[in-house]
Amino acid sequence: QVQLVESGGGLVQAGGSLRLSCAASGRTFRSYAMGWFRQAPGKEREIVSTINWSGDNTYYASSVKGRFIISRDNVKNTVYLQMNSLKPEDTAVYYCATRPSPLNALGQKDYPYWGQGTQVTVSS
């Protein structure tokens, strides 16, 4: 069983930055792909970014490309999401997720393990 715990959310002004962290339990973390998703009020949960097991293959949603950076530290069992140039439309609960495969996937159904989420609020 894999457990994921997100942290780093908060309130920030538009144009600011936040770094989210997701700490994973289990020795298999380093061989699993990871993803960040978000759900804004009244909207469906959507993909933000994914990273493969080694960190050399990443994906970004068009809405965050060029502003967000995903990375991972397999020694610390942690994946990060550096969020820059934040906009009010980035306001959402951000979730990290993992799948028992080293390869990226873009579907939420491909990720059986989820964290509890962390709130990000961007004020205008």
What was the pLDDT predicted at 19? 98
Q: How far apart are CA 90 and CA 64, in angstroms?
A: 9
The tens-digit pLDDT sequence of the chain (124 residues) is: 889 999 999 999 999 999 999 999 977 788 999 999 999 999 999 999 999 999 999 999 999 999 999 999 999 999 999 999 999 999 999 999 999 999 999 999 999 999 999 999 999 9
At 26 the pLDDT is 76
Task: Give dist(CA 13, CA 64) in Å, integer.
Answer: 17
Residue pair 24/98 in contact (Cβ under 8 Å)? The answer is yes
Sign of the four-CA dihedral 119, 9, 1, 29 = positive
Look at residues 55, 58, 78 and name the one whose alpha carbon lies nearest to residue 3.
78
